[in-house]
Amino acid sequence: MTRTPIKNLAPFPDGFVTVAGWVETVRDQKKVQFVILRDESGAVQLVNPATRDLEDGASAEEHAAAALTETIGGLAHGTMIRVTGELKHDERVKLGGIEVKIATLEVVSEALPETPIADDSSLDKRLDWRFLDLRRPEASLIFKIQTTFEHALRSWWVERDFIEIHTPKLMASASESRAELFEMEYFETKAYLAQSPQFFKQMAQPAGFGKVFEIAPAFRADPSFTSRHATEFTSIDAEISWIDSHEDVMQMHEQLLAHAIGAVAAKHGAAIEAAFGVELSAPTTPFPRIPLAEARQIVADGGYEIPRADGDLDPEAERRLSAWVKANHGSDFVFVTDYATGIRPFYHMRREGDPTVTNSYDLLYNGTEISTGAQREHRLDVLIGQAREKGLEPEELEFYLDFFRYGVPPHGGFGMGLARVLMLMLGLGSIRETTYLFRGPTRLLP
């Protein structure tokens, strides 16, 4: 008999079904045994009338029933089983109003009797045993949400004629900061793990692709142990041609997010509220836009002095600004715009008439920065000059500068961390929860 996913049992009429999954709990009472069986789709209660202490001359059926009782009594948490039994609808059953009376039970794979993690285990301990930690329904839900979110992003892009690209993760030179590069042996030379697809998605603009996107790994050799940093993460990137300013990028970005979060809310909203206590809905566009200088003043007026010397917002300032935006604009999102030239990379376009300001932005979501976007500088002579100002020699950037020697349209885009967006969407405390297998300065396993 074909296995039926547990979530599909409720509409079935009473009768025989086959289910399979892992044992979550066993309640072995004197006269009856209950097993909570869970699979990837949900959980169901199994029931078995206990048969014990057989008398002499017991029938073969009674011996089989006693053997089944003994097997159930010895089931350890996590043991994989396959069960055929009679489905019954009973509103008194708290778990979904259905149960399955066991007819046959096959132990497919036994689990050790004591599991290495518990409900109150620390996050680091749970990450050590991530394959067991992921059995939690709320953990599984996170990655169902991720699937819906990514699918919605791709659908929005594809419906608007974006082209999906897959850029290399091995690079001959830095794309951004040399300080955050992972260096590795590469035959007779050195290679670096890509910090972002920045240069390669820009290469698609002179190639005539017009609008591109990528969802792929990126690597940062950043020895940070905060709740929002990782050494390997999934980056969501997009780049578009023929823009007038970074405003075009922001409009694309906010419409994309509104669509994707709306898709998650529509499919998983009730489950998210039950599991995480978050009432998720599609955000209203346009998102508020606040220049950096004004953002700093808002934070200062609230009584906080930003300690950073470069003029950027620190995490506390991001939280305070976001709280102000929520209170005054009712939005979980805010674009902070007009970043100073000194805190932006050389390829960000500078404001016409004010070269101290770039056509760039950071996007904050629920108090934390999730993305940086900008209009890129497409004029070769200006680009070379800005690179030199940042202490970079054009000779080091020849392969990149070649993109601009044969015609490139005005363009811009953004990069955004997937796990960070999911963390903030669900109100969780760390991207370790929203990353399938987290990688940080001290974690390379499992």
3 state SS of 74: coil
At residue 189 the predicted structure's pLDDT band, cuts being 50, 70 and 90, is very high
What is the model's pLDDT at position 149? 99
347 domain residue, yes or no:
yes
Residues 144 and 259 in one domain: yes
Binding residues: 176, 220, 369, 372, 376, 417-420
Whether 359 and 238 map to the same domain: the answer is: yes
Angle between helices 137-159 and 418-425 (to 10 degrees): 120
* CA–CA gap between residue 4 and residue 246 (Å, rounded): 51
State how far the Cα of 7 lies from the Cα of 28, in Å rounded to an integer.
25
User: pLDDT of 268-310, one tens digit each?
Assistant: 999 999 999 999 999 999 999 999 999 999 999 999 999 998 9
What string of DSSP letters covers 185-241? Answer: EETTEEEEE-S-SHHHHHHTTTTT--EEEEEEEEE------STT--SEEEEEEEEEE
In a domain, 438, yes or no: no
Judge if 145 and 101 occupy the same domain: no
C-beta neighbour count of 154 within 10 angstroms: 15
- Residue 236: CB partners within 8 Å, gap ≥ 6? 153, 213, 214, 215, 415, 416, 417, 418, 421
Where is the binding site for ATP, in residues? 369, 417-420
* H/E segment holding residue 420: helix 418-425
pLDDT at residue 1 tops 80: no
pLDDT of 174 reads 67
Q: What is the extent of the structural domain holding 74? A: 6-109
The Cβ of residue 31 has, within 10 Å, a number of other Cβ atoms equal to: 8
Strands (E), 51-111: 80-89, 98-109
- Looking up tokens 């990069």, which residue turns up? 415
Percent of the chain with pLDDT over 70: 98
Q: What is the CA radius of gyration of the chain?
A: 28
Whole-number mean pLDDT of the chain?
96
Residues 47-68: tens digit of each pLDDT: 999 998 888 888 999 999 999 9
Check residue 54 and give its pLDDT. 87
Q: What is the pLDDT of residues 379-407, one digit of tens each?
A: 999 999 999 999 999 998 999 999 999 99
* Section 70-93 average pLDDT: 97
Query: Total structural domains in the chain?
Result: 2
pLDDT of residue 178: 65
Any domain includes 141: yes
Among 119-128, 168-177, 336-345, which is the least confidently predicted range?
Answer: 168-177
Examine the domain organization and report whether 295 and 260 are in the same domain: yes
Helix (H, G, I), strand (E, B) or coil at 93: coil
pLDDT given at position 176: 63
Beta-bridged to residue 172, according to DSSP, are none
pLDDT of residue 440: 97
Hey, what's the torsion of the CAs at 192, 198, 200, 206, to 10 degrees? -150
Write out the binding residues for L-aspartate. 176, 220, 372, 376
Q: Which two tokens stand for residue 429?
A: 């405390």
Q: How far apart are CA 235 and CA 157, in angstroms?
A: 16
Helix 315-329 to helix 292-301 angle (10° resolution) is 90
CB 37 within 8 A of CB 83: yes
Residue 439 lies in a domain: no
> For residue 173, what pLDDT is reported?
78
pLDDT (tens digit per residue) in 9-24: 999 999 999 999 999 9
| Residue 209 falls inside a structural domain | yes
Looking at the fold, whether 105 and 134 belong to one and the same domain comes out as no
Distance CA 228, CA 365 (A): 13
CATH code, 208: 3.30.930.10
Q: What does the alpha-carbon distance between residue 441 and residue 148 come to, in Å, rounded to a whole number?
A: 30
* Within-domain flag for 1: no
Mean pLDDT of 84-112: 96
pLDDT above 90 for 177? no
What letter represents residue 66's amino acid?
A
